[in-house]
Amino acid sequence: MSKRAFNFNAGPAALPLEVLERAQAEFVDYRNTGMSIMEMSHRGAVYEAVHNEAQERLLSLLGNPSGYKVLFIQGGASTQFAMIPMNFLGQGHAANYVMTGSWADKALKEAKLIGETHVAASSEESKYMSLPKLADIQLSDNAAYLHLTSNETIEGTQFKDFPDTGAVPLICDMSSDILSRPFDLRRFGMVYAGAQKNLGPSGVAVVIVREDLITDSPKHLPTMLRYNTYLKNNSLYNTPPSFGIYMINEVLKWIEEKGGLAGVQDMNRKKAALIYDAIDNSGGFYRGCVNPDSRSDMNITFRLETEELEKEFVKASEKEGFVGLKGHRSVGGLRASVYNAVPYESCKALVDFMEHFKNNR
């Protein structure tokens, strides 16, 4: 087998090698059907079984709370930024947002195109290097929902707990940390994620939503932008991204094999601690960007003394087989994305490389 890179890409990102190999084994002839899963009808029993299995596995990993449905929607998480206010923001109400960074900002901007909005809390003052305190979240009287970004992929912050919003539905963009740890789905009206970090390849967003919130959708909305269309048709109103959903099902099996969400959380904590320790114990050579209490276990952002040195770091890392360590172009610096599928060995290799780079300056 060819050598695998030390892949720290932010998304699309590393997938479990076991999953890729299993998909490869089934690629040309899926379970003696004489064709790839990509070549079959999405109306056939073979594909539908995969589709339903992925939905069931996802809910089962989350403890099967009653009343929730899994939808598969194309257009990535960015389309969800628009669909959420289109479906849930009625006249006389305000869409409430917690402002934590680049992705929360994009979500808010879409809501502003649709209707009234309210910033319920913000950490912009800290340049998003810390998170607002849950106690400081102030809902407007007429809140249609509260939208929160659990993990800011670019800045590298992650909520460790979630607010209690009472009767107001809590809607969460979990694109960059879904299924990286256990969470209580019952606290949310809806969670959603683009698949391409912790779930599978790009091309599908997973939406897990309380069914009672989408038993109807505003009648003026186009069919494909109504959550109710996906509910009524089991996300098979039109042709779904079938290969992506098949891959998600395989990734979910892999998570089960790793001990479910508690199992992957354990791995993720160890990986993140290893890298944060290397940063914190570098005598100031590496500097974590984010306040320690807001740090993400998924996207670890750090800097060196100068941009020149950061460029050198990236260049040297690439020579050693590391990929994706350059920070997002909007913030600069360095970033290691350590989603579920990034092996501990890659993190160990990174820490060794960091040490080597520091000592050879």
Annotated binding site: 43, 77-78, 103, 153, 173, 196, 238-239
Q: Which stretch binds ligand PMP (CB under 6 A): 122-130, 169-177, 207-215, 218-226?
A: 169-177
**Residue 77 binding ligand PMP, by CB under 6 A:** yes
The three-point CA angle 160-285-300 to 5° equals 25
| From 69, 177, 197, 271, active-site residue | 197
Identity of the amino acid at 36: S
The question of whether 254 is a catalytic residue gets the answer: no
Encoded one letter per residue, x for contact with ligand PMP by CB under 6 A and - for no contact, window 170-199 reads: ---x-xx-----------------x-----
The question of whether 173 is a catalytic residue gets the answer: yes
Q: Residue 173 or 297: which CB sits closer to ligand PMP?
A: 173
CB of 174 to ligand PMP, least distance (A): 8
Which parts of 102-131 interact with ligand PMP (CB under 6 A)?
A: 103
| From 69, 103, 254, 271, active-site residue | 103
Binding ligand PMP by CB under 6 A: which of 11, 200, 201, 324? 11
Binding ligand PMP by CB under 6 A: which of 7, 117, 149, 340? 149
**Residue 132 binding ligand PMP, by CB under 6 A:** no
| From 69, 109, 133, 173, active-site residue | 173
CB of 11 to ligand PMP, least distance (A): 5
Q: Which residues are catalytic?
A: 103, 173, 197
Q: Interface residues with ligand PMP (CB under 6 A)?
A: 11, 76-78, 103, 149, 153, 173, 175-176, 194
